[in-house]
Amino acid sequence: MLRPSWGDVRIAGRSLRQWSRQMLAREMAVVPQMTWPPFAFTVRDYVSLGRNPYLPPWASPRRQDREAVHRALTLTGLQDLADKPVTELSGGEFQRSLLARALAQQPSLLLLDEPTAFLDPAYAVSMLGLIEELNAQGLTVVAVLHDLNLAATYSRRVVALRDGQVFADGEVEQVMRGRVLEDLYSTPVLVDQGPLGRPRITLLKARRNHEV
């Protein structure tokens, strides 16, 4: 989203500086952690904004645009809310509309910042399951997650950051280990194997020294 002041970011082998904003919007979609719409769009119209990179200025949506929006609404379970103003949605419903707008772009790269924010556990698992399926179909996904167990369950690769620097980088089993996580968070951690065969992380109570 931002031009780097130094170094280089490459997408599909091309430097970010070589991408026009329109072409980048066709290649990449973003689901932010928190944002609110400026107008009372219907859910369908809000999701349709994801088609803007493909349309000339002031052009009406074409058949393929309407089909992409319909598919995005279906994948995210928003068909019954399509005509409801987004300003009347719950936080979780609006979070799903953000994902639907991103999917309507039909990107090859999806960036997610806390995609399960405001979602109850059932919808969080459903959303990440959908993203996992799309990833298996070829969509590249980069997600910021603070829930360690969700990250361990749905990730293929984990990059742990501390103070803006890479602290650990590797497959889930390499990073989601007790010693690594204890050093990362400076708190006791128990890691065992969950029912799905992935690491299960439990944060333990930190010991406190009390003066008598």
Whether residue 102 is contained in a domain is answered as yes
**Is 68 exposed, middle or buried, given 0-12, 13-18 or 19+ CB atoms closer than 10 A?**
buried
Output DSSP code: residue 95: H
Output DSSP code: residue 128: H
CATH classification of the domain holding 98: 3.40.50.300
Whether residue 133 is contained in a domain is answered as yes
Q: How far apart are CA 130 and CA 75, in angstroms?
A: 8
Q: How far apart are CA 134 and CA 11, in angstroms?
A: 19
Output DSSP code: residue 207: P
Whether residue 155 is contained in a domain is answered as no
Q: Are 98 and 30 in contact (CB under 8 A)?
A: no
Residue 41's nearest CA partner among 3, 99, 86, 107 is: 86
H-helix or E-strand containing 196? none
Whether residue 160 is contained in a domain is answered as no
Q: Are 47 and 89 in contact (CB under 8 A)?
A: no
Instruction: Please compute the mean of the pLDDT values over residues 73-83 and round it to a whole number.
Output: 96
Predicted model pTM? 0.88
Per-residue pLDDT tens over the stretch 13-33: 999 889 999 999 999 999 998
Domain that includes residue 30, residue range? 10-144
For residue 212, pLDDT over 50 is answered with no
Residue 176's nearest CA partner among 195, 192, 165 is: 192
Whether residue 110 is contained in a domain is answered as yes
Q: What is the pairing mode between strands 109-113 and 140-144?
A: parallel
Per-residue pLDDT tens over the stretch 22-64: 999 999 999 998 788 778 999 999 999 999 999 988 889 999 9
pLDDT of residue 211: 53
Distances (CA, A) of 70 to 75, 104, 105, 162: 9, 8, 12, 40
| Number of domains within the chain | 1
Would you give the distance in Å from CA 190 to the centre of its chain? 26
Whether residue 65 is contained in a domain is answered as yes
pLDDT of residue 79: 95
Per-residue pLDDT tens over the stretch 123-176: 889 999 999 999 999 999 999 999 999 999 999 999 999 998 999 999 999 999
Whether residue 164 is contained in a domain is answered as no
Whether residue 174 is contained in a domain is answered as no
Q: Are 77 and 96 in contact (CB under 8 A)?
A: yes
